[in-house]
Amino acid sequence: MASSMLNGAEKISLMRGRPATGLGFSASGLHGRHCTHMSFVPFNGSSRTRISSPRCSLSSSRPASQPRFIQHKKEAFWFYRFLSIVYDHVINPGHWTEDMRDEALEPADLNDRRMIVLDVGGGTGFTTLGIVKHVDAKNVTILDQSPHQLAKAKQKEALKDCKIIEGDAEDLPFPTDYADRYVSAGSIEYWPDPQRGIKEAYRVLKLGGKACLIGPVYPTYWLSRFFADVWMLFPKEEEYIEWFEKAGFRDVQLKRIGPKWYRGVRRHGLIMGCSVTGVKKASGDSPLELGPKAEDVSKPVNPIVFLLRFILGAMAATYFVLVPIYMWLKDQIVPKGRPI
């Protein structure tokens, strides 16, 4: 019963150590384990029932993290060379709407216009448009490895005062203890080493600063899992939390997001499926020590292998362009209140 209710829920907040509001749960022992003990709190009118039982991870198990076909920086660079042309018109309507953006940014506490904010992997500036509603554009920096995406951001009038630079999310060109807020939306799925990127988020924040990372979630439906594994990284919810905590963040929280018409966010996965936040608890660099980077972009790439991976990854991406259309049609047909 609890499982079916979760599959049909549009929005659920996952918070370490305390239950969420509405239909929610508290979880413990998320460090790399597939099974946890969760307390589900369903609400039915004025009644309230607590069901406590061992449950397995809400995200299906998947193979150990490995670079997918578009989860390499060079392939992602060329992927966005073409996608940047239609990104705001093709990807955003199905996976990253304005309502979703505003909801996902809410936990970032953008409550002071003078804040220094970094939008890492900012792309065309769609997320930045949500940030500058609350923070002066002159205090916001957009960083991305794709000059083609950044060219689109530069065309947006509301972002003309933002600093726009090319850079690597795993090696940020900012000093330690620099920013009040770190935001990254739709970027982690391309990072060869997500833990390194989150470690960098910790480093560049000031003491008490908050990171807000928005990204995809691993699907539960078998066909969507297959294409997710072909395309790029779709982390499990537990992995997001583990990466944040290992980097040194405290008060780590995960909030599920999705279009209002999309029922069953876990089932097929979304390019933007959750918003994860954490607070920097001590000045300086992250306490986590890591070895060399997982990917060296200076190394030569076999052009045939590159082209094959690029084509296969682009084909898998097409599936996730079609998923929102399929889900929108089902939402129009299936009676409200029933999972789809």
**Residue 94 shares a structural domain with residue 210:** yes
Under the banding of pLDDT at 50, 70 and 90, the label for residue 198 is: very high
CA atoms of 338 and 8, how far apart (whole Å): 7
Q: Where are the beta strands (DSSP E) in 121-191?
A: 140-144, 163-166, 179-185
Q: Which two tokens stand for residue 170?
A: 């795993």
* Residues 79-138 pLDDT 10s: 555 554 555 556 656 567 888 899 999 999 999 999 999 999 998 899 999 999 999 999
Given a cut of 60, is residue 18 above it in pLDDT?
no
Same domain for 41 and 101, yes or no, is: no
Spatial contact of 139 and 117, defined as CB atoms under 8 Å apart:
yes
Same domain, 93 and 234: yes
Q: Which of 280, 312, 334 is the last residue of a domain?
A: 280
Domain membership of residue 270 (yes or no) is yes
Residues 30, 112: one domain? Answer: no
238 in Cβ contact with 209 (< 8 Å)? no
Query: Residue 169 belongs to a domain with what CATH number?
Result: 3.40.50.150
Residues 136 and 169 occupy one common structural domain: yes
Q: How far apart are CA 29 and CA 27, in angstroms?
A: 7
Same domain assignment for residues 159 and 262: yes
Average pLDDT, the chain: 76
Q: Are residues 145 and 225 in the same domain?
A: yes
167 and 272 share a domain?
yes
The answer on pLDDT for 239 being more than 50 is: yes
Number of domains in the chain: 2
Residue 1: predicted pLDDT: 34
Residues 44 and 96 in one domain: no
Residues 37 and 135 grouped into a single domain: no
Residues 41 and 97 in one domain: no
pLDDT in tens, 251-261: 999 999 888 77
pLDDT tier at 323, thresholds 50, 70, 90 = confident
Q: What is the pLDDT of residue 306?
A: 72
Domain check: are 83 and 213 in the same one? yes
Q: pLDDT digit string (tens) for 259-303?
A: 877 776 678 777 778 999 999 999 999 999 998 776 655 666 677
Q: Which range of residues forms the domain containing residue 193?
A: 73-280
Please report whether residue 228 resides in a domain: yes
The DSSP secondary-structure symbol of 64 reads P
Distant-in-sequence contacts of 224-229, Cβ < 8 A, 24+ apart: 224/267, 224/268, 224/269, 224/319, 224/323, 225/60, 225/62, 225/269, 227/316, 227/319, 227/320, 228/62, 228/68, 228/269, 228/316, 228/320, 229/62, 229/63, 229/68
- Is residue 38 scored above 90 in pLDDT? no
Model pTM? 0.75
